[in-house]
Amino acid sequence: MQDARGDDEVEGNARIFVAGGSTLIGAALLRQLAAQSYTNVVGLPPGEPDLRRAAEVESFFSRFRPEYVLFAAGKSGGIEANRLFPADLIIDNLLSECHVIDAAHRHGVKKLLYVGSSCSYPKHCPQPMQVESLMSGPLEPTNDAYATAKIAGIKLCQAYARQHGDNFISGIPANAFGIDDDFSPAGGHVIPALIGKFHKARVEAQPAVSIWGTGTPRREFIFADDLADACLFVMREYNDTQTPINLGCGEDLSIRETAELIRDVVGFTGELVFDATRPDGMPLKSLDSTPLIRLGWRSRTPIVKALMETYEAYLFEARKLEQEGIHVRAAV
């Protein structure tokens, strides 16, 4: 990684804080940091401060003095979680990003990467989405509260950089999925939710699985471990604080295609039934990641391999819960 001037290679023992180390993306960042021999990671879960509390964040930064911050904190969820809990999502994200970004400034953090969300693009955005389109039109109503908080995080980084010269950059990831995902039907994004649904249907020999919406929306997905690699890459290679950078791999799938891949990975042989009474959300979310690709980054994990690893993680988690005596019906 580089320092604020973008000219010194950071030693593997620099103090690094992953804000949100238990989130899907945060946990993947911790794995990547370990894999790339960054050994001095501070505030590892469960020792992370409660980022919604200013005093806890302040005392954490005073005590551990992180030099580099990767921000992957804040509650997130799929289309149903956004419908049910918009207030939880907006307040959790706003508080966490305000506290961490302000503390990072006051404690002289050399560089910070804020991981945003592709929900921040307008609903009817030219595709593939370029960062110039941010704030150019109304948000998708199914996730506008969460998206507003994620836009505020980008604005915070830009403002602190302009006013104080902080090297705080923002990345906007494609729809991430992977090992530490939320597999619950109500909370999860489409991939983990469907892994859970297909698995249950296979074990219980159900004839069909309900897929929400029409199946026609398209999403660009990225495996969380690849995304984490992209995050560390931009920490080293990217220093434009006023221009967020898209973090994607350039391929999108329809929800129908996604469901068919997951069905095959899980080994379900029944039918897919599309429930058009459920919302579709954004018609298409695909990122223009040309700047990232020009810098030389490439994703490594083909989608089927990534889905298989995610399914294995689901099975592992389900077995663990069984052993702990928590009954997950048909989970193993």
**Interface residues toward ligand GDP, by CB under 6 A:** 78-80, 119, 143, 175, 188-190, 193-194, 197, 211-213, 217, 219, 255, 278-282
Tokens of 202: 């296979």
Shortest distance, position 277 Cβ to ligand GDP, whole Å: 11
Q: Which is nearer to ligand GDP, 66 or 173 (CB)?
A: 173
Shortest distance, position 182 Cβ to ligand GDP, whole Å: 10
Q: Is 146 noted as a catalytic residue in this protein?
A: yes
* Residue 249 near residue 332, CB atoms below 8 Å: no
User: Which of 113, 24, 122, 118 has the alpha carbon at shortest distance from 74?
Assistant: 24
Shortest distance, position 230 Cβ to ligand GDP, whole Å: 19
Shortest distance, position 282 Cβ to ligand GDP, whole Å: 6
Tokens of 159: 């403002």
Distance CA 170, CA 245 (A): 6
* Residue 263 near residue 190, CB atoms below 8 Å: no
Q: Which is nearer to ligand GDP, 101 or 179 (CB)?
A: 179
Angle, CA 291 vertex, CA 281 and CA 172 arms, to 5°: 35
Distance of CA 331 to the CA centre of its chain: 25
* Residue 19 near residue 70, CB atoms below 8 Å: yes
Distance CA 183, CA 24 (A): 11
Q: Are strands 68-71 and 111-115 parallel, antiparallel or unpaired?
A: parallel
Shortest distance, position 216 Cβ to ligand GDP, whole Å: 8
Side-chain-side CA neighbours of residue 185 (13 Å): 10
Tell me which of 38, 146, 160, 314 is the catalytic residue.
146
Hey, which residues are catalytic here? 146
